[in-house]
Amino acid sequence: MIVMGSSSWKAGEPMVRIELPTPAPGKNQVVVDVHAIGVNPVDWKMRTAGPLRVAARALSAVQGPKPPVVIGVDFAGVVAAVGPQVQGFAPGDRVVGGCNFSRAQRGSYADTVVVFPDQICKVPDSVPIDVAGCLPVAGVTAHMALTDYQPVGPASRVLVLGASGGVGQFAVQIAKRVLGAAFVGGVCSGKNAALVRELGADEVFDYTAGDALQAAAARGPYDVLVDGVGTYPAANCRKLLSACGAHVMVAGDKAEHMLQIAVPPFRSKAILATPDGAHIAPVLQAVAEGKVVVHIAHRLPLHQAQQAHDLSQSGRVVGKIVLVVDRPQG
């Protein structure tokens, strides 16, 4: 198998093409031929800094895997082999899932991954495999943000900060077209305003034209404010909330962000996505039903993972970046 990996956890270590022995599944494991890999900011953050890098690095020292270090969570592809105890999946199934560093697994920047059955779900034929590969982290995060703390329903008013980004695009569409929110506002730059409206936002607040939170206040209060940017003051976000509203901090992995959850009246909540099969399924269903459309801004071959990280790190990506493995697409 081929991975894009680094020889150690040293910060900024380049990702290079490495050939490893092709794995066989354990008793309750599934081997997946990977076709597409969604790129997320956490991927490049894990190469340089942040709490997930610290956790993954510490865990790998104790339980493995040994280097090369392979990052990446999202993948979609076709089941190649299953262990004897696996039920519900068979070779040839199209699947999507998320690698899990806490289960001693390598990441998804590879042409093959080995995971447990609860980490994947089947992809209907109507959903292209590269679209499926974009769902795990960003789609699940958006869905959890809108359902875990203050569940969004037909009476809800929702504000999404960073509405043009990977998580933001899912959040706008899921809030409006899946959960049926009464009002969805999107904060983005003017150049992305038309797109965010197309995704279902009732109103767009251009952060390049003034104080977007102040502009959004006129259409509040909000039951859920999804923060996919992390630079807007949390106190100002909380001011826009209804009495039971939640400020869900998707972005913000620094200590000062985490401290916000302890500020009375405890309306700021931190979220950490769990991109497993059960959490991916409702997002996948929404895509299959045509309620959620995935805007893929860049498709790059797996060996251009570094270029994908440079694009993601620019903070300007509209929608998703996907890495494709050079094999026939499903």
Ligand X SMILES: NC(=O)c1ccc[n+]([C@@H]2O[C@H](COP(=O)([O-])OP(=O)(O)OC[C@H]3O[C@@H](n4cnc5c(N)ncnc54)[C@H](OP(=O)(O)O)[C@@H]3O)[C@@H](O)[C@H]2O)c1
User: Which residues contact ligand X (rule: CB under 6 A)?
Assistant: 40-42, 137-138, 141, 161-162, 164-168, 187-189, 192, 207, 228-231, 250-251, 271-273, 312, 315-318
CA distance 125 to 143: 22
Least distance CB 51 / ligand X (angstroms): 10
> For residues 117 and 162, which CB has a smaller minimum distance to ligand X in the complex?
162
Q: How far is the CB of 27 from ligand X (least distance, A)?
A: 30
For the chain, helix, strand, coil in percent to 5 are 35, 25, 40
Amino acid symbol at 158: V
Q: Kindly list the distances between the CA atom of residue 326 and the CA atoms of 20, 83, 136, in Å, as whole numbers in the listed order.
A: 17, 26, 21
Can you tell me the distance from the alpha carbon of 35 to that of 77, in angstroms, rounded to the nearest whole number?
5
Q: Which is nearer to ligand X, 141 or 268 (CB)?
A: 141
Residue 24's CB is within 10 A of a number of other CB atoms, namely: 10
Bridge partners of 79, per DSSP, are 32
- Which residue's beta carbon is nearest to the bound ligand X? 165
Distance CA 207, CA 327 (A): 41
Q: Which is nearer to ligand X, 39 or 95 (CB)?
A: 39
**DSSP classification of residue 266:** -
Provide the 10 A C-beta neighbour count for residue 106.
Answer: 26
Which CB sits closer to ligand X, 271 or 292? 271
> Is 114 or 159 the residue whose CB approaches ligand X more closely?
159
- Residue 50 Cβ, how far from ligand X at the closest point, in Å? 8
**CB 89, min distance to ligand X, A:** 26
Nearer residue to ligand X within complex by CB, 65 or 230: 230
Instruction: Tell me the closest approach of the beta carbon of residue 214 to ligand X, in angstroms.
Output: 14
| Number of helical H runs and strand E runs in the chain | 11, 15
Please state the closest distance from residue 144 (CB atom) to ligand X, in A. 8
